[in-house]
Amino acid sequence: MTQLDTSNLNTINRGDRLITVNGVSKIYNLKKQKVYALNNVSLEIFRSEYLSIMGPSGSGKSTLFNIVGALDRPSEGNVAIGPLDLTKLSSRQLAFVRCTYIGYIFQAYNLIPSLTALRNVALPRIFTGEPPKQAEEAAAKRLEQVGLAHRLDHRPDELSGGQQQRVAIARALVNDPTIILADEPTANLDLNTGGEIITILKDLSSKEGVTIITATHDHKMLANSDRVLWIKDGQVDKIQTADELEIEEGDISVGGESME
C-alpha cells in the first residue's frame, strides 16, 4: 500500500475546515435512465463541529453520510478529509483511513454476540496490529469513559440497549478518531437513554475536538447540533444553526416550514 501523507491532518485546529465535499453526485443507471441519489452537493464540515444530517427517506441523506464516511464513492465530484482526496485513494488506502481516522456508530449496534464488551471494543486496535493486551487496556479506558467500567466482561445479550450503544460508542472511539459518524444512534433507545448518548457525543465534540456527523430524526439531537444540514431530492436544501430551528415535540419548523 502506498504510504499516505497524513501529517497535515493532525494539525487541523478546532473550527478549521476538516472535510470538503465538492460537486458530489451519486448516479445509478436504471433501465437506461440516470437516477441521482445525490446531485452536485458541495459543503464544508469543520473540526470539532457537531453536524446533523436530516432528510426524508429517499432524499440522499444516507448516501451523503456513506460518501463522507468513506464507505462509498461518488460518481462525480470529490471528498477530502484534510489533505486526503478520498476519491483518489485505493480500496486499501480507504480502509486505512476508515480504521485510523473515522469511528462509526450504527443504529443496530453491530456488536459481535460471542465477544465481551471489552473484546468488542478492542477489535479495531487489534485489526491495526496492536497486541491484544495493549488493545484491551485502551478499550477498558474508553468503556470507563462511557460509564461501563463494571461491564467489561459482559456479552451484548447481557446488556441493555443503551449499554450496547455505549459499547458501540467506545468501539468507535478506541482508535482515537478525528471523525465520528453516527447513524440514528438514539433511534432504538428510550428518551432518557437517548439523552445520555447525545451528551456523550456532545462532550466528544466540545472536549476532545472530535467532529460528529450524525444522520438523525431525533429532535433533541438536532437541538444540540452546531448545524443541521437538510437534504431534499439529492441536494442541500438548507443548512441551519440550532438557534434557527423551531423544535417542538412531534414537529420541526425551519423558517416557518414544517419538516417531517
pLDDT digits 0-9 by tens, 80-129: 999 899 999 999 899 888 888 899 988 888 899 999 999 999 999 998 88
The mean pLDDT of 204-225, rounded to a whole number, is 86
Q: How confident is the model at residue 187 (pLDDT cuts 50, 70, 90)?
A: confident
Higher pLDDT, 173 or 219: 173
Q: How confident is the model at residue 168 (pLDDT cuts 50, 70, 90)?
A: very high
- pLDDT of 42 higher than 90: yes
User: 129 — phi, psi (to 5°)?
Assistant: 100, 5
Q: What's the pLDDT at 196? A: 85
Q: What's the pLDDT at 6? A: 67
Q: How confident is the model at residue 259 (pLDDT cuts 50, 70, 90)?
A: very low
Q: Provide CATH code, domain 18-259.
A: 3.40.50.300
Q: How confident is the model at residue 192 (pLDDT cuts 50, 70, 90)?
A: confident
- Enter the C-alpha cell of residue 61: 441523506
Domain residue limits, the chain: 18-259
- pLDDT of 22 higher than 90: yes
60-69, 81-90, 241-250: range with lowest mean pLDDT? 241-250
Q: What's the pLDDT at 260? A: 45
Which residues, including other chains, have CB under 8 Å from residue 38's CB and lie 6 or more apart?
Answer: 24, 25, 26, 60, 63, 64, 67, 74, 234, 235
Q: Are 231 and 59 in contact (CB under 8 A)?
A: yes
> To the nearest whole number, what is the mean pLDDT of the chain?
87
Share of the chain above pLDDT 70, in %: 91
Q: How confident is the model at residue 258 (pLDDT cuts 50, 70, 90)?
A: very low
Q: CA distances (Å), 44 to each of 32, 41, 122, 162, in order?
A: 33, 10, 32, 32
SS3 label, residue 47: coil
Higher pLDDT, 216 or 137: 137
Q: What's the pLDDT at 1? A: 43
Q: What is the pTM assigned to this prediction? A: 0.86
